[in-house]
Structure 1
Amino acid sequence: MKVWLAGFALTLAACSPAPKPLADSACHEISFDDTRFTDCIADPARDAVRLVINPELRTLGALAGSLRDNTRIRFAMNGGMYDDEGKAIGLAVIEGRQVHRLNRKQGGGNFHLLPNGVFSAEADGWHVRTSDAYAAATPRSAMATQSGPMLVIEGRLHPAFADDGDSRYIRNAVGIDRAGKAHFVISEEPVSFGLLARLFRDKLGCPNALFLDGSVSALWDPAAQRTDSSVALGPLLVVEAR
């Protein structure tokens, strides 16, 4: 039986075994400044990205368990700031429908370490922009999620970051390289904002990159049989083959 939950078509698991996932993983381990990361690469020419926000699917394990057919899933990752109920606290667009408006309020915490930003899927490709730039562009997004802070802004590190600060967590982020491909990165060991930002700018060639979260960061890579355990999350980004 197929149901739609927050813009994602889910075929409820039955007793029969799930089909095998895609043979080749989109994710691979990379190293930068003697630190390990996993880089999952998605291409808008062949892949689609969806945003899932649902109170019943707040971990990647729950998402994986809800799917009878995961053969098109390349990977999934937590993808945006949220409240205690798992609802987005910033812009969230699912299948062209805005479910939460853009949030440009000032406040505490990572999300309000301005500028924050938006990762979006549009007719001309995928974009990472500051929230102000997104608002000025007024795009028609098929998918969008807001998080923060920005890591890299037009080739420059966020002004609040040191090259390698003292605050270190397992962190994940997304950036778009100059070829238009998206790099979804999760660190395999605790890292600072500055180190993560420099990875995107200096190794991955992303002029803009957006922090997604830290300490709760998680990855589902079916081809590698990896499903990270985590606390209850909020918005989930799911990349699948077209």
Structure 2
Amino acid sequence: MLRAVLAALALLAGPAAALECQDSSYMGNRYTWCKVDAAREDLRLFLYNPDGGAWGQFPQLDASLGAEDKALLFAMNAGMYHPNRAPVGLYIEDGETLNEAVSSAGPGNFGLLPNGILCIRARRADVIETRKYLADRPACDFATQSGPMLVIDGELHPRFIPDSDSRYLRNGVGTSDNGKTAIFAISNNPVNFHDFASFFRDGLKLDQALFLDGNVSRLYAPGFGRRDLVGRAMGPIVGVVGTPD
């Protein structure tokens, strides 16, 4: 376990490609995580296709990009949504706000305050707690809201229970303080919130991290040999767009 953690930290500290994925073990749990250089990569959010329906699945989105001589190099489901795939909270795509932020407490994981927002701007990406976002109103080119926050300013969410038996496959995102690095992680075995948040804070050394979802958690990283293609249609999708090999 220690060797895997040290390898992960060395990768974070050393020179690296703009997009990297790897498997790690931490505290008895297995994860796959992808590190995105937000200053170099074309990181975007996707929801609706040109016909007005949700993309729903990775292959449809990748095929559409292929018509533009582009490819989906990495993707992950990116926030909670209603049965019609509409986002539950804030959603911004290409600078257009399609849904406003929700700051009130409510049922389910999304309403377990504090929740947060992934804000993607030119050459940076940041996980921002929702109330801070609403106070500062940064100009995000893309944004998606989800919840709960996993790590807030270096502290785990106060409602997380270390020995909770609520275990699911989960995915989330954490960002570096300078906004240049975004790390997207998915558990490869069921984990509780406390263990998942600890991986972001103590394993990946990130002070801000956001839960994206549980039962629909999926990762698309063809360069890493992983394509999670089976499952329910998704709402928002976060992805890196590049040129095909």
2:29 to 21, 30, 35: 35
Q: CA RMSD in A?
A: 2.0
* Bigger mean CA deviation after superposition, 120-129 or 93-102: 120-129
Deviation, structure 1 residue 164: 4.0
2:238 is equivalent to residue 240 of structure 1: no
d(CA) in 2 for partners of 1:85 and 1:209? 27
Deviation string, structure 1 residues 126-181 (Cα, Å, up to 9, x no partner)? 11111001111111111100000000000000000012421011100000124531
Deviation, structure 1 residue 72: 4.6
2:158 corresponding residue in structure 1: 159
2:13 corresponding residue in structure 1: none
Q: Which secondary structure state, in structure 1, belongs to the residue aligned with residue 66 of structure 2?
A: coil
2:225 is equivalent to residue 231 of structure 1: no
Assess if the C-alpha contact under 8 Å between 1:74 and 1:221 holds in 2: yes
Deviation, structure 1 residue 121: 1.1
Deviation, structure 1 residue 224: 2.8
Assess if the C-alpha contact under 8 Å between 1:77 and 1:236 holds in 2: yes
2:41 corresponding residue in structure 1: 47
Distance of aligned partners of 1:129 and 1:164 in 2 relative to their CA distance in 1, 3 Å threshold = farther
Q: TM-score, normalised by structure 1?
A: 0.85
Q: Which secondary structure state, in structure 2, belongs to the residue aligned with residue 201 of structure 1?
A: helix
Q: Which secondary structure state, in structure 2, belongs to the residue aligned with residue 39 of structure 1?
A: strand
User: Higher helix fraction: Structure 1 or Structure 2?
Assistant: 2
Number of aligned residue pairs: give it: 220
1:193 corresponding residue in structure 2: 193
Deviation string, structure 1 residues 32-74 (Cα, Å, up to 9, x no partner)? 0121100111011211211111234112233234442675532
Assess if the C-alpha contact under 8 Å between 2:92 and 2:142 holds in 1: yes
2:208 corresponding residue in structure 1: 208
Note the residue ranges of structure 2 that are not aligned, 5 or more in a row: 1-16
Deviation, structure 1 residue 204: 0.6
d(CA) in 2 for partners of 1:235 and 1:148? 14
Assess if the C-alpha contact under 8 Å between 1:26 and 1:74 holds in 2: no
Deviation, structure 1 residue 222: 1.8
Assess if the C-alpha contact under 8 Å between 2:62 and 2:72 holds in 1: no
Q: Which secondary structure state, in structure 1, belongs to the residue aligned with residue 110 of structure 2?
A: helix
Residue type of the partner of 2:132?
A: A
2:92 is equivalent to residue 98 of structure 1: no
1:131 corresponding residue in structure 2: 130
1:109 corresponding residue in structure 2: 108
Assess if the C-alpha contact under 8 Å between 1:78 and 1:235 holds in 2: yes
Q: TM-score, normalised by structure 2?
A: 0.84
Assess if the C-alpha contact under 8 Å between 1:25 and 1:224 holds in 2: no
Q: Which secondary structure state, in structure 2, belongs to the residue aligned with residue 111 of structure 1?
A: coil
d(CA) in 1 for partners of 2:55 and 2:107? 27
d(CA) in 1 for partners of 2:177 and 2:139? 21
d(CA) in 1 for partners of 2:43 and 2:194? 27
Note the residue ranges of structure 1 that are not aligned, 5 or more in a row: 1-22
